[in-house]
Amino acid sequence: MFQYKPDISNCKKVIMFLPMEENKFFVILPFAMALSEKRDSNDFLVITDENNRYILRALGLERLALFYNSKNMLYGEADFFEMEKRVQDQRWDLCIFLQENTSLPFLYLARATRAPYRMGLKQEFPFLNITLQSSSYHEDIYASRNFLYKTFLIDPKKTEEESIRVTQKNEKFNSSSKLLSTSNTILLNLEPPINGEPWSENDVFTICKSFQPKWRLITIAATTKQLEPYAKVMDELEMRSNPVLLHSESIFSVLRQYPAIITLNSLHSHLLLNLSNIKVLMLEQDDDYDIPNSRRMLKFRRDGNYYSFARLVVDFLKEPDAVKPVTK
């Protein structure tokens, strides 16, 4: 008969399946880092997609991870059986399964860990025996992370500070980005939002004009393809793009050189919020899920007046410790 362990935070050997969605992956990473620091390297392991290797390397967590290619993780594939073998190398005390839109092979791997306590996000998932929250009550990934902090007795504020310290300590300085660094320059993230319409050329034009002449904007994105639709307006405005992409191990050496970044609620905006020290200027829209306030974030409506937004940004950068509410 299964009996719940009341002091589950004291489980010694922990294996964790990180979220598949990149934005949720970035949100959970500070928790994973805090959990790993409380354990010997042989007592902690994360399972994640191969595409996330770059960020774990930057955080010094690559040695504590097993990577998979999602296309090959089908029952019967050689990669699947190899992963099954690897998760069974040790007998784990606790499995934390944080994949939300998952498939049966991954749930089977959670069972294959042989951990007596297998914690997941949804009650209806097979092979798990502890649910983080009721599936009938919708909560976002930030709420789930806060629950995990409380369950494992982790100080959120201390964890946030430590996560940022680690990225700055482990960063690889990029000499080409140094040439673009200036105190009156703000990054503009042209990565599309998770939900809703992507940036329009008019958005880029108006935002750039609203910050001139005192500030200049340099564009950045997760891939070069994301920059292509804006080549014409960037040429017209004589805007440059940063040569280092958000999806790069050296991104932290770029972010530390700029006072702020303008972004929609995109995948990598959650990297900016949770793993860097840059000020985040978030343009919100109706399709967004709520993001907790932060001392480093200013929220503004995407359909608001960008000239008003620019004036607020100037004040916000003068008061870095202020928590700013949503402004229309």
- Locate tokens 């390297």: which residue? 41
Q: Are 25 and 50 in contact (CB under 8 A)?
A: no
* Strand 185-189 versus strand 94-97 pairing type: unpaired
Q: What is the DSSP string of 166-189?
A: HHHHH----HHHHTT--TTEEEEE
Q: Can you give the C-alpha Rg of the chain in angstroms?
A: 21
- pLDDT digit string, tens, across residues 143-161: 899 999 999 999 999 998 8
Task: Give the chain's mean pLDDT.
Answer: 88
Binned at pLDDT 50, 70 and 90, residue 30 comes out as: very high
Q: How many domains does the chain have?
A: 2
Binned at pLDDT 50, 70 and 90, residue 167 comes out as: confident
d(CA 161, CA 125): 34
Q: Do 149 and 183 belong to one domain?
A: no
Q: Do 306 and 183 belong to one domain?
A: yes
d(CA 84, CA 104): 13
**Residue from 181, 187, 195 nearest 284 by CA:** 195
3-state secondary structure at position 96: strand
* Strand 65-68 versus strand 130-131 pairing type: unpaired
Q: Are 47 and 17 in contact (CB under 8 A)?
A: yes
Q: What pLDDT sits at residue 154?
A: 94
- Is the pLDDT confidence value at 8 over 50? yes
Q: Do 16 and 156 belong to one domain?
A: yes
Q: Residue 155 belongs to what domain range?
A: 8-170
Q: Do 140 and 189 belong to one domain?
A: no
Q: Do 150 and 294 belong to one domain?
A: no
Lowest mean pLDDT among 27-36, 169-178, 210-219: 169-178
Q: Do 61 and 159 belong to one domain?
A: yes
Cβ contacts of residue 260 below 8 Å, gap of 6+? 186, 187, 278, 279, 280, 281, 313, 316, 317
Q: Do 63 and 194 belong to one domain?
A: no
Q: Do 140 and 186 belong to one domain?
A: no
Q: Do 116 and 238 belong to one domain?
A: no
Residue 12 within a domain: yes
Q: Do 292 and 239 belong to one domain?
A: yes
Q: Are 281 and 188 in contact (CB under 8 A)?
A: no
Entry pTM: 0.88
Query: Which of 143, 170, 197 is the endpoint of a domain?
Result: 170
Q: Are 67 and 50 in contact (CB under 8 A)?
A: yes
Residue 323 within a domain: no
Q: Give me the mean pLDDT over the 94-120 stretch.
A: 94
